[in-house]
Amino acid sequence: MRQAIQILPVFGIGEISVGDDISHTILHAMTSGELSLQPHDVLVITQKIVSKAEGRIVDPHTVAPSHMAHMCAAQGHKDASYYEVVLQESKRIIRMDRGVLICETHHGLICANAGVDESNVDGGGHITLLPVDPDASARRIRNAIVQQTGITVSVIISDSFGRAWREGQVNVAIGVAGIDPLISYAGIDDPYGYRMQVSVLAIGDEIAAAAELVMGKIDRVPVAIVRGVTYAASESSASTLIRPAAKDLFR
């Protein structure tokens, strides 16, 4: 039987600078807020603070825009230097319309503008890029937290993505550690005896989206604890959430 789930915001993280120890920052904020970890908790951490700590910050005005970047700027609402950073972070461009680029990043993620973001940085002077390897970032943070606390937890690094068919954005998992981000029900009978064939839940994305409910976009809460979720402990990767191109009707 499923149990109740708690989603706990971690307040007091503060501004993150290049080189900061994210695990230490999180544990310090939890101690100050009288929060403690429990076995099987999932820590959801926004990509933005991980990128800041890892130095994935760029001043776009130091980047020389290409002809393609100028073409994008002519259609969009951002300058050519911003688009040049997007192009550099892209493995290929899936779609381009009215200044919005749907990109395949070097990680294999399909997202708008290759995850390059101006919000929650420094008022627009700089932009952040996705971590080079979000799974590796999640593993480093998880290993440090487990080592410091002795408590086995999982870590999800999240980012906001748009969705085909639907308006609005939701948080999804772009990096995971200690959790299988997919649960397959294929081959299992439902309560009526029907054997399910292809039912797979993206629990990594579901947990990331649930955490956003207490994080918000402007509330400066970049970390949440999700407690009570049933999941499989695993050394899996968030890349398993990416649908192969051969099965993707939008590519």
Question: Is it the case that residue 1 has pLDDT exceeding 90?
Answer: no
How many CB atoms lie under 10 A from the CB of residue 173?
A: 29
Instruction: Please return the burial class of 227, using the count of CB atoms within 10 Å of its CB with bins 0-12, 13-18 and 19+.
Output: middle
pLDDT for 97: 85
pLDDT digits (tens, 9 = 90+) for 161-191: 988 888 999 999 999 999 999 987 666 766 7
Average per-residue pLDDT for the chain: 90
197 has a pLDDT exceeding 70: no
- Please tell me the predicted confidence (pLDDT) of residue 149: 96
DSSP label at residue 117: B
Determine the pLDDT at residue 7: 97
77 vs 35, higher pLDDT: 35
CB atoms within 10 A of CB 239: 15
The pLDDT assigned to 84 comes to: 95
* Dist. CA 43–CA 156, nearest whole Å: 6
Lowest mean pLDDT among 83-87, 117-121, 163-167, 226-230: 117-121
Mean pLDDT across 48-62: 94
Read off the pLDDT of each residue in 3-8 and give the average, rounded to a whole number: 93
Please state, for a pLDDT cut of 70, what percent of the chain lies above it: 92
Cβ(169)–Cβ(112) below 8 Å? no
Torsion of CA 114, 118, 120, 122, to 10 degrees: 140
Band of the pLDDT at 3, cuts 50, 70, 90? confident
pLDDT value, residue 245? 84
Contact call for residues 53 and 16 (beta carbons, < 8 A): yes
Residue 2 has pLDDT above 70, yes or no: no
Per-residue DSSP letters for 159-227? Answer: EEEEETTEEEEEEEEEEEESS-S-EE-TT-B-TTSPBPSS-EE-HHHHHHHHHHHHH-SSS---EEEEE
* 18-27, 90-99, 117-126: least confidently modelled range: 117-126
Q: Which long-range contacts (CB under 8 A, 24 or more apart) does 73-77 make?
A: 73/99, 75/99, 76/100
Write out the two tokens for 66. 């290409």
By mean pLDDT, which of 49-58, 155-164, 197-206 is the weakest? 197-206
Residue 196 pLDDT exceeds 70: no
Tens digits of residue pLDDT in 110-163 = 999 999 988 766 666 789 999 999 999 999 999 999 999 999 999 999 999 988
- pLDDT value of position 249: 77
Mean pLDDT, range 198-204, rounded to an integer: 85
| Domains of the chain as residue ranges with CATH | 6-52+131-243 (3.30.1330.100), 58-127 (3.90.1660.10)
